[in-house]
Amino acid sequence: MFKPHVDVLSFGEIGGVGEMTYCTVRFPRYELRYENDAALLCPRYEENEQLIDRQADTLLTGQELLVSLCNLYRAINDPACKSNPIDMIAEWCSSNIHPYHVDSLYDLANDAGYDYDSYSDMIMQDGIFSVDDFMRDLAPLYHTTCFHHALLQLIRGNDVFARELYYEGRFNDGYAFFEKYKYAPTVENNLCSDNLLAEMLENAQAESFEDHCSDNHQEFRQNPLQDLEYLHTTLLSLFPEFKMKLRKDAKTNRILFAADVYSVFDLAWYALSRSVANDAPDYDLNPNSMYSDGTPMACLHCGNFFIRRGPRQRYCTNPSCQAARQRINQRNLRERRRIQQQQ
Ligand SMILES: [Zn+2]
How far, in Å, from the CA of 145 to the mean position of ligand 1? 17
Ligand 1 centroid to Cα of residue 69, in Å, is 16
The stretch 121-127 carries a mean pLDDT of 96
Residue 106 pLDDT > 50, yes or no?
yes
Ligand 1: centre distance to CA 287 (Å): 20
CA of 317 to the centre of ligand 1 (A): 7
pLDDT of the residue at 17: 42
pLDDT tens profile 25-66: 899 999 999 999 999 999 999 999 988 877 655 667 788 889
- Residues 193-203 have pLDDT tens digits of 455 555 555 55
How far is it, in rounded angstroms, from Cα 192 to Cα 276? Answer: 39
What is the C-alpha to C-alpha distance for residues 175 and 217, in angstroms, rounded to an integer?
Answer: 15
* Centre of ligand 1 from the C-alpha of residue 303, in Å: 6
| Ligand 1 centroid to residue 314 C-alpha, Å | 9
Q: Calculate how far, in angstroms, residue 312's C-alpha sits from the geometric centre of ligand 1.
A: 14
pLDDT exceeds cutoff 60 at 1: no
CA of 327 to the centre of ligand 1 (A): 14
Q: Return the C-alpha torsion angle 336, 338, 339, 343, nearest 10.
A: 130
Alpha carbon of 159 to ligand 1 centroid (Å): 19
Q: Centre a 10 Å sphere on the Cβ of residue 29 and count the other Cβ atoms it contains.
A: 14
- Mean per-residue pLDDT, 275-303: 60
Q: Is the pLDDT of residue 5 over 90?
A: no
**271 Cα–ligand 1 center, Å:** 21
What is this structure's pTM? 0.75
CA distance 227 to 35: 46
Distance 338 CA to ligand 1 centre (A): 29
Lowest mean pLDDT segment, chosen from 161-170, 222-231, 296-305: 296-305
Q: Check pLDDT > 60 for residue 215.
A: no
